Structure 1
Amino acid sequence: MKWFNKTLFRRILISFLVTLLIGLGVVGFSISWLTKDYMYTQTQEELVRKAKRVNATIQRHENIDEKTIEMLALLDQSFDTRIWVFDKEGQIIATSMKDEVFIGKSVAPRIVDRALKGQDVLSELHFEGLNKPMISVVVPWGAKKNIYGGIVLHAPVEGLNQTFVFIRETILWAILFGVILSTAIVSYLSWSITRPLHYIERTAMEIEQGNYHQRLEIDNPAELADLAKTVNRLAEKVEKDEMNLKREEKIRNDFLANISHDLRTPLTAIQGFLEALQDGLIREEETRQHYYQVMYQETMHLNRLVEDLMDLIKLENKDITLFKTPVDIVDLLEKLMFAFQPEADAKETQLEITAEAGLPMVYADRDRVAQIFKNLLQNAVKFTSKGHVQALVLREEQYLKINIKDTGIGIETGDLERIWERFFKGDRVRSKANKGTGLGLSIVQQLVKLHHGKISVHSELGKGTTFTVWLPIIAEYGDDLENVDDIY
């Protein structure tokens, strides 16, 4: 069956032709058989009626004379049939043709018996001497009980056979025309299906080779149009996944470069200072204390880096447990600002907090919320010199809205969409004065989501940045705080 399954065109064509040939063959045979049966039946019934009219004409003539024979000849011409008359012994005693050679011959006894009993004979009749195909009927000759014999009417079947031949030829021509028409229709259907399929195949190959921008435009048939839409969606997804992979790869490479730099720089400094101290090159106590202070700061930087990495791994693995309690956000912000006050004073930056009166508390993990705002305030202070850092707290529907606004250097527009990415570091943090790992804001965003909150950013380069955090207030959970899912 390999030859049958090779192409769609061949399968459709063979299916059409088989269906057509079987269908037309059955219909043609049925029509031919039914027509032949009907025409034979009608012809026999018509012969019977004519035979009875002949009998009505000669039934009073028990003996066949010249006048009766002339009457038979006249009826032959009127009915276009040959007429025989046979007696009780079955001998043909008269015919409608004067030169008829059948006079004196006998009719089959079974036909004679039925005629003498007053029965019509309509079955197939065979008479000796009739070589041409004829339709024959027999009716009794006489009236009621006075049966003298029988009357036979013959009609040639050449016309009927010609009609049947014409019907068969018509059916054959119809089948031939159907085959040609089916081939044309199948060719068109196959073309209309295979052409878009080849188009889909070529486009799929283009997508396979990396041309993800390729798209299919097919309007019909509807099934192939749906398939084209599915392929387009698949191409869009593959293209998006490829872009994400490239972006992730770039982020990963940037992270490796940044983390290598962040690790190498403090380690190099620590190694150099330790070598100097170990070799006894630093004799002044003040200089040694300065070296100790630098090594301590570099060690703290490495510690923060490790902590950020551990937090990121836990967040990615959803291995963070939140211990939620009612938290006073204003009190928390005041303590964090107090901790950053020395650094802000060193940069001549003012810290201030503004809050509405009677604010409700939020239901959150205090340490994790502190980590969120510590990162935001640290960035604000880090990138602001001789400016202001303001925390604004107010209620907005079922949330506390906290704005951390600074007047620092701002964030480039192209970096705004990427600051939440893991390991991403914008141009503003690439200087030696602004150290960072690029993990802080990614951790902040995920911690906010774990608290069922929201976070957004607005920034203008050279004018400052505003981070806005929404945290659900305690009233959102009602009185039964134990039913809140705290484990993620």
Structure 2
Amino acid sequence: MKNDSTVKHAMVKKRTLKQIIHSLFFIMFRNYAMVVVAFAILTGLIFVQLYSRSAIEANKDLLIKQAESIAKRVSVFVDDEDYITYPSFLEVLEELKNIDVWIIANPKSPMPKKYTNIDVTKENQPEIASLFDSAFAGESGAVDIHSDTYGANYIFTSVPIISTKSNKIMGAVFVNQISESQNIIINRSFTIIVISTLIALLFSLIFAVFLARKLSHPISIMRKTALRLADEDYEAHTNITEGGELGELAAAIDSLSDRLKEADNERKNLEQMRLDFFANVSHELRTPITVVRAYSETLLDGIIEDEATKAEYYDKMLTECKSMERLVGDLLVLSKMQNPDFVLEKEPINLVQVFSDILRGGSALAREKNVKINFTTADEVLLMYGDYDRIRQMFMVIVDNAIKFSNDNGDIDITINKYCASGIDSEFRTTLSGDTYINSGYKLFVSIRDNGVGISESELPHIFEKFYKSKLRQNAKGSGLGLAIARQIALKHDGSTEVESKKGEGTKFKFEFNELTLE
């Protein structure tokens, strides 16, 4: 186990590249980084697309406004038949940067040709034929297309030239701009977005490292703690106090550690009890077996010829056999009582009748020591739910000990009372021979007191332990199992047991059980 543990911890310390890649920290960092990168790219693409469309639409509106302004000026020149100033106006238009201005006459109601600055029609400009139709119909328009004629992306806008005098559409103003200048602006914006995204990504990844560390560190501690627990080091604790699911998991591991420690201590105690049990059984059986063997060998060798001596040997052998039989019987009873699956044959029984039966059986031993037994009961019928034989066995052990440890000419007081108690399960019921019995709400109190040798304060906590026997001569022939059996019987009947005793002043056993009554 220790070698396996050393190898395991050595493997934990030496982390390979594969282990690092599959570690929780790396997985969390990688996934977070992928999400951040994907989010940054998607956000950048959407922003650039929206910005591009917004910029183009804004530029279209600006070009249309410019075209409308030019159309009004041209209309004034045409209506005033101003041929002198107009050429200067055209020269100003030609000097405008980044845009081209076309002034075109309406074929159906043409203005003088001298007011046009280019001779184009929708036939030789098929890409923007729709703008010709809309302009000569009195509507403004704009398109963003790739012009095969000019081999570039263009924004074309058209505005009709309407005479203020005749209100006729004399022509149209086309303001055109190559989209490359707009693309330059968009590309610059995209560069700024990319740089901003990379900076944000860097800070996000730093935060990802911090977050992954914060989440993976407690899990790493819990992993190390689990490995220590697997190595049976039940002192291991995570000592993590943070809240949330990780804190709850750490608390569960610490609770498991405490329970494993308790279970291990209990296992060790049970193992020690098992060893003590076998040692005690071996000790208890060794003496009678040795005696029986010695007498049997003596008789078998024919050394003893006197019949009276032989009979005495046989009698001692029989006594030792009975002692072993009683010990084995007590062990079987105790084993049954301690088995949680063992079911008693319970029924409503009268405690007064139980003690009447006990007193008849124990009177012979009491007479030998001239011990007087005083029995007092609150009623002639005091019922409880239990196994008659086991209850009789339990109280017989106590009464037998009371007589055994009483002084000659002493007294034993047995009292059965009842008192009202709270917290008794009133829903309990059982039926026997057509009668239904339920808890009465009272407790039965049984007291058995002697004025014998008593029990010392140091011995009192151990009297219910298996094979525990005092060194008094009255206990020389006991098996040390009687009181252990009595307590187990009381527990099987949901009863309580208490003992009061002082050296030289006697002992008092007290029992409590739930009382039954007819419904």
TM-score bracket, normalised by the shorter chain, equals 0.7 to 0.9
2:424 matched residue in structure 1: none
Kindly state the Cα deviation for residue 266 of structure 1 after the two structures are TM-superposed.
1.0
Which residue of 52, 69, 86 maps to 1:36? 52
The question of whether the paired residues in 2 share the 8 Å contact of 1:81 and 1:153 is answered with yes
Structure 2 residue identity aligned to 1:184? I
Structure 2 residue identity aligned to 1:393? I
Which residue of 352, 360, 368 maps to 2:390? 368
2:224 matched residue in structure 1: 202
Paired with 1:7 and 1:414, the residues of 2 have a C-alpha distance of 59
2:257 is the alignment partner of 1:235: yes
State the TM-score, normalized to the length of structure 1. Answer: 0.80
Q: Secondary structure at the match of 1:338?
A: helix
Paired with 1:142 and 1:323, the residues of 2 have a C-alpha distance of 117
The question of whether the paired residues in 2 share the 8 Å contact of 1:85 and 1:152 is answered with yes
2:91 is the alignment partner of 1:67: no
The question of whether the paired residues in 1 share the 8 Å contact of 2:501 and 2:508 is answered with yes
Which residue of 143, 158, 162 maps to 1:138? 158
The question of whether the paired residues in 1 share the 8 Å contact of 2:144 and 2:156 is answered with yes
2:445 is the alignment partner of 1:401: yes
The verdict on how the C-alpha distance between 1:241 and 1:380 changes in structure 2, with shifts beyond 3 A counting, is farther
Kindly state the Cα deviation for residue 43 of structure 1 after the two structures are TM-superposed.
2.1
Paired with 1:139 and 1:249, the residues of 2 have a C-alpha distance of 104
Structure 2 residue identity aligned to 1:443? I
Paired with 2:139 and 2:20, the residues of 1 have a C-alpha distance of 61
Q: Secondary structure at the match of 1:59?
A: helix
Kindly state the Cα deviation for residue 60 of structure 1 after the two structures are TM-superposed.
3.9
Identity %: 22
1:99 matched residue in structure 2: none
2:297 matched residue in structure 1: 275
Q: Which segments of 5 or more consecutive residues in structure 2 lack a partner in the other structure?
A: 1-17, 124-128, 421-441
2:342 matched residue in structure 1: 318
Map Cα deviations across residues 157-201 of structure 1 (whole Å, 9 max, x no partner): 566434422432233234323322332222222212221122112
Map Cα deviations across residues 209-248 of structure 1 (whole Å, 9 max, x no partner): 2222333321224212211222222222222222222222
Aligned-residue Cα RMSD (Å) equals 3.8
2:359 matched residue in structure 1: 334
Map Cα deviations across residues 137-158 of structure 1 (whole Å, 9 max, x no partner): 2222342664443222245656
Paired with 1:344 and 1:157, the residues of 2 have a C-alpha distance of 127
2:470 matched residue in structure 1: 428
The verdict on how the C-alpha distance between 1:230 and 1:419 changes in structure 2, with shifts beyond 3 A counting, is farther
Paired with 1:462 and 1:167, the residues of 2 have a C-alpha distance of 104
1:478 matched residue in structure 2: 518
Q: Secondary structure at the match of 1:213?
A: coil
Paired with 1:55 and 1:242, the residues of 2 have a C-alpha distance of 99
1:120 matched residue in structure 2: 140
State the TM-score, normalized to the length of structure 2. Answer: 0.75
Q: Count matched residues.
A: 462
Kindly state the Cα deviation for residue 372 of structure 1 after the two structures are TM-superposed.
0.5
The verdict on how the C-alpha distance between 1:159 and 1:152 changes in structure 2, with shifts beyond 3 A counting, is same
Paired with 1:53 and 1:242, the residues of 2 have a C-alpha distance of 96
Q: Which segments of 5 or more consecutive residues in structure 1 lack a partner in the other structure?
A: 96-102, 480-488
Paired with 2:311 and 2:148, the residues of 1 have a C-alpha distance of 147
2:271 matched residue in structure 1: 249
The question of whether the paired residues in 1 share the 8 Å contact of 2:455 and 2:501 is answered with yes
The verdict on how the C-alpha distance between 1:408 and 1:238 changes in structure 2, with shifts beyond 3 A counting, is farther
Paired with 1:106 and 1:324, the residues of 2 have a C-alpha distance of 120
Kindly state the Cα deviation for residue 202 of structure 1 after the two structures are TM-superposed.
2.0
Paired with 1:272 and 1:37, the residues of 2 have a C-alpha distance of 116
Structure 1 residue identity aligned to 2:448? I
1:7 matched residue in structure 2: 23
